[in-house]
Chains A and B, each alone.
Chain A
Amino acid sequence: MRRSFPLAFPLARSLARRRDRAAWADPRRRLLTLESFAATEEDGGQDLVAAARRVTDPDLRAHVERHAADELRHARMFRDRAREVAAELALSEDAGERPDRPYDLSRGRPGLEQDAHGFFSGGLYDELGEVEYVAMLHVAESRAADLFAHHLDLVRGDDPATAEVFEAILRDEKYHMAYTARFLERWEGEGRAGEVARALRSARSSRAMANWRALGLRSGAGFGKAMLWVAYWVLVTPFALVGRLQQPASGWQAPAERDAGLESQA
């Protein structure tokens, strides 16, 4: 669950709290939220595993490896808690209570092409280099700590088991922020202050851009789908009535006789 607004905006903060409180209060959404956190941590862990292979500084590499292991462990903790919630719910087989799994017949998994921490994905370590990658981690972990503290605050009273998970993860986040800060300071001390400052600026703006784009996509997606839903009932109806009369034939059919070669999309 990513927030679209920085928490500095009081109105945004209030809306986010209300929305997130509602999510934790609904058992089914709580389950989905935990599963989504698990997936996010898993993705982050995988990214870090890949990055650790490319880090040349042995000291930094050890930290990144530990960071990767932490993220994967967090994924397991969220997943275990999700299992407990599912068991507590004893989800009935009523269709309305089934977990809402998106099912795309074309097998695609449409995504925003953002990585686990809200950055654009695509071989980050390779593309960013060491300093920018660590700066990105530092900014992302600060944000994650903020986010988890926010959720801990929301669940502490009502869901102590989930709160325990957040507390354990927050301890790790502090370590992640500390080691990334230490490396950034070390590089600054080695005369690379300008490079570090640029990297931090870039990380913050990249994340802001990614969030802005995600917000735009989400809003656009919601609006676009709403318009398509309206179009379905207004425009599709007459064609649909004809279409329903034409049920497709089953069994072996001769292949389509319209092969227009490889150039054609049809």
Chain B
Amino acid sequence: MTGQRTKYLTTTRDTLSRVADEAQAKGLAAEDALAALEDRESRRATRPQGRS
């Protein structure tokens, strides 16, 4: 058992950290996407109405 617990916990921590890092990166990209969406909505709102 000695050593196996450390190995298991290390693998578990590294696996969770890797996916958390992937999620973190996607989260940052999602923030960029939100900023772009807000920008589009803002420009649309200030665009003169009644023109095609």
Real binding pair? no
Binding site for B on A (CB under 8 A): none
